[in-house]
Structure 1
Amino acid sequence: MNVLDFHARLVPGDGEPGRMLAAMDAAGIGQAAVCAGGMLPLERLARQLNDGGRTETAADNEGVRRACEASGGRLLPFYFADPVRDVEAYGKCAFDFRGLEISPAVHGGRLDDPGVGELVDIAGIAGHPVYLVTVAQPGARPADLVRLAARFPHVTFVWGHCGHTGLDITGLNTVAGSPNVLAELSGCLTVTARLAVARLGARRVLFGTEYPLQQPEVELCKIAALDLDRPDREAVLGANARRVLCEETPWKQP
Structure 2
Amino acid sequence: MTVVDFHARLVPGDGEPGRLLAVMDAAGIDRAAVCAGGLLPLDRLAAQLNDGGRTETTADNEGVLRACERSRGRLLPFFFADPVQDVAAYGKRAFDFRGLEISPAVHGARLDDERVADLVAIAGSAGHPVYVVTVAQAGARPADLVTLAARFPAVTFVWGHCGHTGLDIAGLNALKNSHNVLAELSGSLTVTARLAVSRLGAGRVLFGTEYPLQQPEVELCKIDALGLGPAARAAVLGANACRVLAEETSWKQS
TM-score, normalised by the number of residues in structure 1: 0.99
SS of structure 1 residue aligned to 2:77: strand
Paired residues for 1:148-227 under 5 Å? 148-227=148-227
Q: Distance in 1 between matches of 2:73 and 2:221?
A: 25
The alignment status of 1:31 with 2:19, answered yes or no, reads no
Q: Distance in 1 between matches of 2:66 and 2:14?
A: 14
Cα deviation for residue 47 of structure 1 reads 0.2
For 1:35-63, what per-residue CA distance to the aligned partner results, in whole angstroms no more than 9, with x for missing partners?
Answer: 00000000000000000000000000000
SS of structure 2 residue aligned to 1:21: helix
SS of structure 2 residue aligned to 1:143: helix
Paired residues for 1:122-137 under 5 Å? 122-137=122-137
Cα deviation for residue 253 of structure 1 reads 2.2
For 1:178-231, what per-residue CA distance to the aligned partner results, in whole angstroms no more than 9, with x for missing partners?
Answer: 000000000000000000000000000000000000000000000000000000
For 1:53-92, what per-residue CA distance to the aligned partner results, in whole angstroms no more than 9, with x for missing partners?
Answer: 0000000000001110111110000000000010000000
Would the aligned equivalents of 2:104 and 2:140 in 1 still touch at CA under 8 Å? yes
Would the aligned equivalents of 2:203 and 2:232 in 1 still touch at CA under 8 Å? yes
Paired residues for 1:3-82 under 5 Å? 3-82=3-82
Please identify runs of 4+ aligned residues in structure 1 that moved more than 3 A. Answer: none
Would the aligned equivalents of 1:24 and 1:30 in 2 still touch at CA under 8 Å? yes
Cα deviation for residue 251 of structure 1 reads 2.7
For 1:92-119, what per-residue CA distance to the aligned partner results, in whole angstroms no more than 9, with x for missing partners?
Answer: 0000000000000000021000110000
Would the aligned equivalents of 1:31 and 1:251 in 2 still touch at CA under 8 Å? no
SS of structure 2 residue aligned to 1:58: coil
Residue identity opposite 2:243 in structure 1: R
Task: Tell me: CA distance 1:249–1:232, structure 2 relative to 1, closer, same or farther (3 Å).
Answer: closer
Q: Distance in 2 between matches of 1:75 and 1:249?
A: 15
1:103 is aligned to: 103
TM-score, normalised by the number of residues in structure 2: 0.99
Would the aligned equivalents of 1:73 and 1:251 in 2 still touch at CA under 8 Å? no
Cα deviation for residue 252 of structure 1 reads 1.1
For 1:6-60, what per-residue CA distance to the aligned partner results, in whole angstroms no more than 9, with x for missing partners?
Answer: 0000001111111100000000000000000000000000000000000000000
Aligned pairs, number:
254
The Cα RMSD (Å) is 0.6
Unaligned runs of 5+ in 2: none
Q: Distance in 1 between matches of 2:10 and 2:124?
A: 24
Would the aligned equivalents of 2:32 and 2:75 in 1 still touch at CA under 8 Å? yes
Paired residues for 1:103-122 under 5 Å? 103-122=103-122
Would the aligned equivalents of 1:74 and 1:251 in 2 still touch at CA under 8 Å? no
How much identity, in percent, do the aligned residues show?
81
Would the aligned equivalents of 1:10 and 1:36 in 2 still touch at CA under 8 Å? yes
Residue identity opposite 2:69 in structure 1: E
Q: Distance in 1 between matches of 2:252 and 2:158?
A: 25
For 1:133-192, what per-residue CA distance to the aligned partner results, in whole angstroms no more than 9, with x for missing partners?
Answer: 000000000000000000000000000000000000000000001000000000000000
Unaligned runs of 5+ in 1: none
1:92 is aligned to: 92
Q: Distance in 1 between matches of 2:70 and 2:20?
A: 13
Would the aligned equivalents of 1:135 and 1:164 in 2 still touch at CA under 8 Å? yes
Q: Distance in 2 between matches of 1:157 and 1:79?
A: 14
Residue identity opposite 1:141 in structure 2: R
Cα deviation for residue 249 of structure 1 reads 3.8
SS of structure 2 residue aligned to 1:34: strand
